[in-house]
Amino acid sequence: MDNQISLDTSTPNKTLSSSQPPNKTGVIVVGAGLAGLAAATRLQAENIPFLLVEASDAVGGRVRTDFVDGFTLDRGFQIFITAYPEARELLDYDALDLQRFYSGAKVFFGGRFHTVADPLRHFSDAVLSLANPIGTVVDKLLIGLSRIRVLSRSDYNLLTADEVKTIDLLRKTGFSDSVLDRFFRPFFGGVFFDRELETTSRLFDFVFKCLALGDNTLPKNGISAIPEQLAGKLNPSSIILNSRVASVDCDSDEGIVVNLSSGELLRSDLGVILAIEEFEAANILAGKIDTGRVKEPVRSTVCLYFSVDADKVPVKDPALFLNGSGRGIVNNMFFATNVAPSYAPPGKGLVSVSLIGSYEGVPDEELVKRVVEELSGWFGSEAVGWWRYMRMYRVGFAQPNQCPPTNLMKDPKLKEGLYICGDYVTSATFDGALVSGKRAVEALLKDRTIVKV
């Protein structure tokens, strides 16, 4: 057997040391976002020594949280859906202490809020909302039928089905323009950072199914609790932070060699898994392996946080508020402390406001001014007058562009010993990133025959 390798699995990673990383290990995983963490988790489960090499100062990648003066500020508004299938396998939900959103949304339209409720969870709200202007009664029936359609199919089937743009699927289903503009564009536009809804129907169907089966939540200690939980189960000496990989040499006599920006070299016995963003992988492999063209534009968002005294929070609902008016720059917002009181110190509330797009060239002060003016129209200028601007996150790269044509089941193998994972390899979700990490390890294991001694 050509690739047969013997590993002493009795003391995994025994040669690793945090002060000075060894320059040779079993597998090198580059990037400690959810995909890299999932890959490392699987390698550890197989007792395969690995190094997880991360450029930044912490694990999590795009899933990070800052803790500022007792406030919990996620780096961009993110929601964790409990029904994500791979997440259910990997994460301890009880330890995350997930805080639930209202199952539905409050839509701002015509100068007031209208409730869109999940009939299976909030039946009476849903009945009352039948006559509201967010959609027709037929629309509400079609939402039920769409739910049955996705629930009757497997995830694999949804992610590989014939695809169209989401907007075309919704139009073909028969939804009215009013429900498209007042609910689907702000809600799913917020999920995909794409108000045009040009994202593939495959991703829409998968997320729609997860929403039907699970709750929208936030971990009590911030969204970064998710990657931190995964990292906490890994051998700490296998994780190297603040170390950027500059290039990967696939044709060295010594196997695949990873070059760090510091000049250090790392070598692997079994292979390298690139768990980095698509454009980073393209840069690192430039001139060696063509990874294809990165689809543009990538998806961007801006998230603004405001603090307010708890008794001045204008509503108590743990709901997502959507802009169904078709005007303004706010896409969605919520009172984070209505969902998770732990997101602010005692006596304080936290407001989170999300815009779609990068707003490059628009100064921060201008964005804050426009948001305050706009939300004064929603909640009244007296209420919004109490809000204090805290911080803004401009996330230039929030998600890859997953408009048709897509392949949400990309082969993780670039060549024997070199594999990719990340949300761009599967679906641009937490779950897609997690499952892609597992699949990259499975492809490596298939290529290498490992004999445990």
Ligand X SMILES: Cc1cc2nc3c(=O)[nH]c(=O)nc-3n(C[C@H](O)[C@H](O)[C@H](O)COP(=O)(O)OP(=O)(O)OC[C@H]3O[C@@H](n4cnc5c(N)ncnc54)[C@H](O)[C@@H]3O)c2cc1C
Task: Kindly tell me which of 55 and 390 has the beta carbon lying closer to ligand X.
Answer: 55
How near is the Cβ of 146 to ligand X at its closest, in Å?
A: 20
How near is the Cβ of 283 to ligand X at its closest, in Å?
A: 8
Amino acid type, 393:
Y
How near is the Cβ of 201 to ligand X at its closest, in Å?
A: 17
Please give the order of strands across the beta sheet that includes 98-100.
Answer: 80-81, 216-219, 98-100
- Whole-number Å distance between alpha carbons of 453 and 356: 53
Half-sphere exposure of 374 (CA within 13 A, CB side): 23
| Element containing residue 378 per DSSP (H, E) | helix 364-379
How near is the Cβ of 56 to ligand X at its closest, in Å?
A: 4
DSSP bridge partners of 74: 65
* Residue ranges in contact with ligand X by CB under 6 A: 30-36, 53-56, 61-63, 76, 78-79, 244-245, 275-277, 280, 284, 301, 395, 398-399, 422-423, 428-430, 433
Task: Kindly tell me which of 109 and 305 has the beta carbon lying closer to ligand X.
Answer: 305
| Sequence-distant (≥ 6) Cβ neighbours of residue 139 within 8 angstroms | 175, 176, 178, 179
Task: Kindly tell me which of 119 and 432 has the beta carbon lying closer to ligand X.
Answer: 432
Is residue 190 within 8 A of residue 354, CB to CB? The reply is: yes
DSSP bridge partners of 29: 52, 273
DSSP, collapsed to helix, strand or coil, labels residue 174 as coil
- Whole-number Å distance between alpha carbons of 78 and 128: 29
Is residue 422 within 8 A of residue 31, CB to CB? The reply is: yes
Task: Kindly tell me which of 126 and 441 has the beta carbon lying closer to ligand X.
Answer: 441
- Whole-number Å distance between alpha carbons of 142 and 82: 24
Task: Kindly tell me which of 194 and 423 has the beta carbon lying closer to ligand X.
Answer: 423
Degrees to nearest 5, angle at CA 214 with 435 and 161: 55
Among candidate residues 222, 239, 200, the one with its CA nearest the CA of residue 79: 222
- Whole-number Å distance between alpha carbons of 227 and 91: 9
Task: Kindly tell me which of 7 and 274 has the beta carbon lying closer to ligand X.
Answer: 274
How near is the Cβ of 421 to ligand X at its closest, in Å?
A: 7
Task: Kindly tell me which of 257 and 433 has the beta carbon lying closer to ligand X.
Answer: 433
- Whole-number Å distance between alpha carbons of 453 and 447: 19
How near is the Cβ of 353 to ligand X at its closest, in Å?
A: 13
Task: Kindly tell me which of 79 and 142 has the beta carbon lying closer to ligand X.
Answer: 79
How near is the Cβ of 75 to ligand X at its closest, in Å?
A: 7
- Whole-number Å distance between alpha carbons of 203 and 406: 10
How near is the Cβ of 112 to ligand X at its closest, in Å?
A: 27
Task: Kindly tell me which of 384 and 414 has the beta carbon lying closer to ligand X.
Answer: 414
Helical residues (DSSP H) of 137-200, grouped into ranges? 137-151, 155-160, 166-173, 177-179, 185-192
DSSP bridge partners of 80: 217
Task: Kindly tell me which of 5 and 246 has the beta carbon lying closer to ligand X.
Answer: 246
Return the residue matching tokens 């989401």: 166
Among candidate residues 392, 280, 422, the one with its CA nearest the CA of residue 329: 392
Amino acid type, 280:
E
How near is the Cβ of 303 to ligand X at its closest, in Å?
A: 6
How near is the Cβ of 260 to ligand X at its closest, in Å?
A: 8
